[in-house]
C-alpha cells in the first residue's frame, strides 16, 4: 500500500484537476490543482457540491453527468466549459468514471480534467483560417481542386469548378471525369511535385488547351500537406482563352506589320534615291538657264528696254529661287540617310553659336536676341544646330514687319524629356492652320509677303522626330509666334 501522505503528494503535484464525489455529488477529495482552479484551498471544498461553487446551469450539467456515470456504471469522456476563480471560461477535457467501494457498490464518481483552452483556441483559429481559405477559393473565377496524391481522390473542388464540371468531390481525377475516362490521367499520377524523399518541391506553372472545351488555361500546381497530414495536390487553373486569342492575333499582326515595315523602308529608300536623283539632275539645266541669261544680259547691256530688262530679271530671280528649292529638297532627302551621332550637348552654347553665325548676315536689322538657360540634352550636335538656325531664320524673316524685332529662346527640364522654345514678335499666324506649318511645301503666307520655299519647318520636324521628339507651334496673327520642340533626355 502507498502511504496516504505519499499518495496526497503525488496527486497534489499533478497539474490535471482530480476530484472524488459521493453519491450526492459532494466532494470527498480534491487535489491542489482543482482547488486552485475553483479559487479555494483543497480542504475548503470537502463536503461542498457543484451548486456551492458554480453557476446553476453548470452545476446542473455536472450533476447530470455524475448521475449518468453512476447509473450506467460506464466511463464518460467529454469536453466542457469551466469557470476559474477569476470568472474566466476554460475548456477542459474531462474523464468521469464510477467510484466503487470494496464490495463493488458504486459510491460516487472520480473525475480527471485537463485544461485544453489553448488547444481549443488553436482549433478555432485553424477552423476560421480554413473557412476563410475556402471562402476565398470559392470566390475565385478559376478551377481550383485539391486531390490526394496517393488515391487521386478529389478532396475539395471550389464553386467555379463545380459549376463547370458538377460536384466532383470524392471522385477520381476531374480531368478524367470531364473526358469521360475512368481512373486518374497521366498528369495526376505524375509525382514530379515531390523530391526523391517524397517532400513537396514547389510551384509548377504551364499553359494547356483543354481538349473538351478547347479553351486555354494557365495552371499552377503544387504539393502541400493536408489537414490530416496527407500529401495532396493543389491545382489552380485560370481561363486565359481571351488572352491567348489576343496574343495569337497580335502575333499575326506583328508579322504583318514587320512585312509592311520592310516594304515601307524599301519604298522610302527608293523615294529618297529618286528625290536625290531628280533634284540633282534638275540643277544642271537651271545653271544653264542662269548662265545664258547672265551672258545675254551682258551682251545686250544698254540695248534692252525696261520691260525686257524686267523679264530677264524675273527669269534670273525665279531660277535662283528654283535652285534654292532644289537645294532644300536635296538636304531633306539626305537627312533620312544621315546617321545620328548622339552625345550630351550644351544646348545653350549650341543656340548661341547658331545665332552668331546668322547675326552677321543681317547687319541692317535691329534684332534683340535673348537666350536664357537651356538644359543639356543628348542630341546630334550638327542637326540641332540646324534646328536652331532654321528657327532663328524663320523668326528673323517674320519679324521684318517690326522696327525692333525681339527673339527669345528658353527651355525647361522635365522628368523624362526637355522642352525648348523660340519666340518672336513677328507676323504670327492663324491657329486654325497650325497643322499645315510643318508639311512639306505648305506655306501660310504668299511670296509677296514673305519669301520662302515651304521646306524649312518640315526639315526641322524631321530632325526632331529622328531624335524621338516632337515639335509644335502657337501663334496669333500680328502678335508673334512660339515654336516648341521636346526631346527625350536620351534620344532614340
Query: pLDDT tens, 246-299?
Result: 887 888 778 777 777 777 777 666 666 666 666 566 666 767 676 767 777 777
User: Would you state the pLDDT for residue 280?
Assistant: 61
User: Which residue would you say has higher pLDDT here, 183 or 474?
Assistant: 474
Residue 157, all three cell numbers: 473542388
User: Would you state the pLDDT for residue 275?
Assistant: 62
Pairwise CA distance, residues 219 & 239, whole Å: 9
Could you give the angle at the alpha carbon of 104 between the alpha carbons of 101 and 108, nearest 5°? 50
Q: Kindly compute the dihedral angle of the four CA atoms of residues 49, 117, 14, 31, in this order, to the nearest 10 degrees.
A: -10
Q: What is the pLDDT of residues 118-138, one digit of tens each?
A: 888 888 888 888 788 788 888
Go through the chain and tell me how many residues it has: 492
Place of cell 528625290: 275
User: Which residue would you say has higher pLDDT here, 204 or 75?
Assistant: 75
Strands (E), 130-215: 143-148, 154-157, 204-209
Which of 86-100, 156-170, 189-203, 349-363 bottoms out in mean pLDDT, i.e. has the lowest? 189-203
Q: Rg (Cα) of the chain, in Å, rounded?
A: 49
Question: Which stretch of DSSP H or E encloses residue 193?
Answer: none
User: Which residue would you say has higher pLDDT here, 286 or 449?
Assistant: 286
Strand, helix or coil for residue 420 = strand
Q: Kindly compute the dihedral angle of the four CA atoms of residues 358, 361, 364, 365, in this order, to the nearest 10 degrees.
A: -30
Provide long-range contacts, Cβ within 8 A and 24+ apart, for 205-213. Answer: 207/240, 207/244, 211/179, 212/178, 212/179
For CA atoms 25, 30, 33, 37, give the dihedral sign.
positive
Pairwise CA distance, residues 152 & 98, whole Å: 47
CB-CB contact of 374 with 351 (8 Å):
yes
CB-CB contact of 247 with 287 (8 Å):
no
171 pLDDT tier (thresholds 50, 70, 90): low
CB-CB contact of 225 with 231 (8 Å):
yes
Strand, helix or coil for residue 385 = helix
User: Would you state the pLDDT for residue 186?
Assistant: 47
Pairwise CA distance, residues 488 & 66, whole Å: 88
Which of 19-28, 169-178, 458-467 bottoms out in mean pLDDT, i.e. has the lowest? 169-178
Pairwise CA distance, residues 75 & 69, whole Å: 6
User: Which residue would you say has higher pLDDT here, 100 or 3?
Assistant: 100
Residue 91, all three cell numbers: 475548456
pTM for this prediction: 0.40
Pairwise CA distance, residues 200 & 231, whole Å: 8
For CA atoms 159, 161, 164, 170, give the dihedral sign.
negative
Which one, of 227, 223, 232, 226, lies nearest residue 202 by Cα?
223
352 pLDDT tier (thresholds 50, 70, 90): very high
Which of 12-26, 119-133, 384-398 bottoms out in mean pLDDT, i.e. has the lowest? 119-133
Strands (E), 84-169: 89-100, 106-115, 143-148, 154-157
Is the per-residue pLDDT at 450 higher than 50? no
Place of cell 449518468: 68
- Which of 1-10, 11-20, 341-350, 437-446 is modeled with the greatest confidence? 341-350
User: Which residue would you say has higher pLDDT here, 213 or 392?
Assistant: 392
Mean pLDDT within 124-153: 82
User: Would you state the pLDDT for residue 271?
Assistant: 62
Question: Which stretch of DSSP H or E encloses residue 357?
Answer: helix 347-359
Complete domains list, the chain, with CATH = 4-115 (3.30.450.20), 123-239 (3.30.450.20), 244-335 (1.10.287), 343-488 (3.30.565.10)
Give me the percent of the chain exceeding a pLDDT of 70: 79
Pairwise CA distance, residues 444 & 454, whole Å: 9
Mean pLDDT within 419-440: 81
Residue 430, all three cell numbers: 492663324
Strand, helix or coil for residue 269 = helix
Pairwise CA distance, residues 375 & 350, whole Å: 11
Number of helices followed by number of strands (H, E) in the chain: 11, 17
Pairwise CA distance, residues 347 & 48, whole Å: 100
User: Which residue would you say has higher pLDDT here, 26 or 358?
Assistant: 26
Strand, helix or coil for residue 234 = strand
User: Which residue would you say has higher pLDDT here, 201 or 345?
Assistant: 345
Mean pLDDT within 101-117: 88
Mean pLDDT within 91-116: 88
For CA atoms 309, 314, 315, 319, give the dihedral sign.
positive
Pairwise CA distance, residues 332 & 280, whole Å: 13
Burial (CB count within 10 angstroms: exposed 0-12, middle 13-18, buried 19+), residue 102: exposed
End-to-end CA distance of the chain: 99
Indicate the pairing of strand 405-413 with strand 367-371.
parallel
Question: Which stretch of DSSP H or E encloses residue 2?
Answer: none
User: Would you state the pLDDT for residue 346?
Assistant: 93
Q: Compute φ and ψ for 226, nearest 5 degrees.
A: -80, 175
Residue 409, all three cell numbers: 529662346
Give me the percent of the chain exceeding a pLDDT of 90: 12
- Which of 196-200, 319-323, 404-408 is modeled with the greatest confidence? 404-408
Average pLDDT across the chain, whole number: 79
486 pLDDT tier (thresholds 50, 70, 90): very high
Amino acid at each position: 500500500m502507498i502511504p496516504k501522505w505519499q499518495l496526497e503528494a503525488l496527486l497534489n503535484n499533478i497539474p490535471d484537476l482530480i476530484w472524488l464525489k459521493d453519491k450526492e455529488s459532494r466532494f470527498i477529495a480534491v487535489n491542489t490543482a482543482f482547488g486552485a482552479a475553483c479559487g479555494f484551498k483543497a480542504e475548503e471544498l470537502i463536503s461542498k457540491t457543484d451548486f456551492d461553487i458554480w453557476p446553476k446551469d453548470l452545476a446542473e450539467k455536472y450533476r447530470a453527468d455524475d448521475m449518468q456515470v453512476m447509473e450506467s456504471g460506464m466511463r464518460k469522456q467529454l469536453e466542457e466549459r469551466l469557470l476559474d476563480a477569476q470568472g474566466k471560461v476554460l475548456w477542459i477535457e474531462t474523464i468521469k468514471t464510477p467510484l466503487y467501494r470494496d464490495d463493488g457498490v458504486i459510491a460516487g464518481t472520480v473525475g480527471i480534467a485537463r485544461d485544453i483552452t489553448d488547444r481549443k483556441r488553436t482549433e478555432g483559429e485553424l477552423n476560421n483560417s480554413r473557412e476563410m481559405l475556402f471562402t476565398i477559393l470559392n470566390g475565385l473565377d478559376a478551377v481550383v481542386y485539391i486531390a490526394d496524391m496517393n488515391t487521386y481522390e478529389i478532396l475539395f473542388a471550389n464553386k467555379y469548378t463545380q459549376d463547370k464540371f458538377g460536384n466532383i468531390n470524392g471522385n477520381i481525377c476531374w480531368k478524367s471525369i470531364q473526358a469521360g475516362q475512368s481512373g486518374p490521367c497521366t498528369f495526376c499520377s505524375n509525382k514530379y511535385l515531390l523530391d526523391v524523399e517524397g517532400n513537396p518541391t514547389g510551384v509548377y506553372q504551364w499553359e494547356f488547351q483543354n481538349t473538351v472545351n478547347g479553351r486555354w488555361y494557365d495552371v499552377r500546381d503544387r504539393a502541400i500537406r493536408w489537414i490530416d497530414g496527407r500529401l495532396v495536390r493543389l491545382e489552380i487553373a485560370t481561363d486565359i482563352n481571351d488572352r491567348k486569342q489576343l496574343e495569337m492575333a497580335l502575333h499575326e499582326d506583328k508579322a504583318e506589320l514587320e512585312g509592311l515595315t520592310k516594304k515601307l523602308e524599301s519604298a522610302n529608300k527608293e523615294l529618297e534615291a529618286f528625290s536625290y536623283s531628280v533634284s540633282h539632275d534638275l540643277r544642271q539645266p537651271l545653271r544653264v538657264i542662269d548662265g545664258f541669261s547672265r551672258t545675254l544680259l551682258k551682251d545686250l547691256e544698254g540695248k534692252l528696254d525696261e520691260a525686257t530688262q524686267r523679264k530677264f530679271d524675273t527669269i534670273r530671280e525665279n531660277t535662283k529661287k528654283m535652285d534654292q528649292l532644289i537645294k532644300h529638297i536635296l538636304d531633306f532627302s539626305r537627312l533620312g540617310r544621315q546617321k545620328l551621332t548622339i552625345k550630351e550637348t550644351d544646348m545653350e552654347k549650341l543656340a548661341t553659336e547658331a545665332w552668331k553665325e546668322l547675326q552677321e548676315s543681317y547687319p541692317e536689322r535691329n534684332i534683340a536676341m535673348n537666350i536664357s538657360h537651356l538644359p543639356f540634352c543628348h542630341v546630334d550636335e550638327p542637326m540641332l544646330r540646324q534646328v536652331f538656325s532654321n528657327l532663328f531664320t524663320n523668326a528673323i524673316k517674320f519679324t521684318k514687319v517690326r522696327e525692333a524685332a525681339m527673339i527669345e529662346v528658353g527651355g525647361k527640364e522635365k522628368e523624362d524629356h526637355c522642352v525648348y522654345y523660340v519666340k518672336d514678335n513677328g507676323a504670327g499666324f492663324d491657329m486654325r492652320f497650325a497643322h499645315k506649318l510643318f508639311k512639306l511645301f505648305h506655306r501660310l503666307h504668299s511670296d509677296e509677303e514673305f519669301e520662302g520655299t515651304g521646306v524649312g519647318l518640315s526639315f526641322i520636324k524631321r530632325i526632331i522626330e529622328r531624335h524621338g521628339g516632337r515639335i509644335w507651334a502657337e501663334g496669333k496673327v500680328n502678335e508673334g509666334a512660339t515654336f516648341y520642340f521636346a526631346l527625350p533626355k536620351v534620344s532614340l
